[in-house]
Amino acid sequence: LAQAQGQRSSSGDLGISRGMALKPLCCFLAVFPAAGALIGAQRAGWQPAPCSSLPPGEPCRTLYEYPQGSMFVGQCPVQSMENPEGCAAYFGDKPEAEKCPQLEGSKAEGVTFKLVCGGGCCPYLWAPDHHLAMDRHTVEESGFTVPQAAQAPPHCAGAKCFSPICPKGTSVGHVQGACCESCVAGR
């Protein structure tokens, strides 16, 4: 350490000068903060897309703005609420501190979630899908589904049924009002 700071060693040598020891460090810091800033901007510096650029049906989200000088989480602005009357009824006579949960931004897979207002009464934590990889696939046909029961009522349209494995003393059958066949006693 004494040599790296440019002080004399026990043999009287100056050793590595302070300037020489710091040059590689300066170059390292000059290069990597830029890379770090780029990664940080991609992970933590995101903003919700402007509402005017969203496709029809996509909810508009805006970053929640804390009251100046505070980390208190209050209600979303009235103009961002889809149902301000419903929010007013929900809030009722509650004190400000009880109207909305006091959430803090969290991280998942290195992505910072931020408080956004998106039509509801209170802000919620959110990150855009292109910053946080999520598996949102849907399976149309898995090979494990069976047709609905022939006696299924009309409200069952779209229901997925699976073949029941019945214990001894029961067999596959239908219970009135059910969408799918199930195990029924003694048939």
Taking the model in full, what pTM does it have?
0.49
Q: What distance separates the 2 farthest-apart alpha carbons in the chain?
A: 101
pLDDT at position 28 over 50: no
> Which residues contact residue 152 at a Cβ distance below 8 angstroms, ignoring those fewer than 6 apart?
159, 178, 179, 180
- Where residue 51 falls (left for φ over 0; alpha for ψ -120 to 50; beta otherwise) is alpha
Q: What is the pLDDT of residues 153-177, one digit of tens each?
A: 999 998 889 999 999 999 999 999 9
Closest CA to 184 of 176, 171, 152: 171
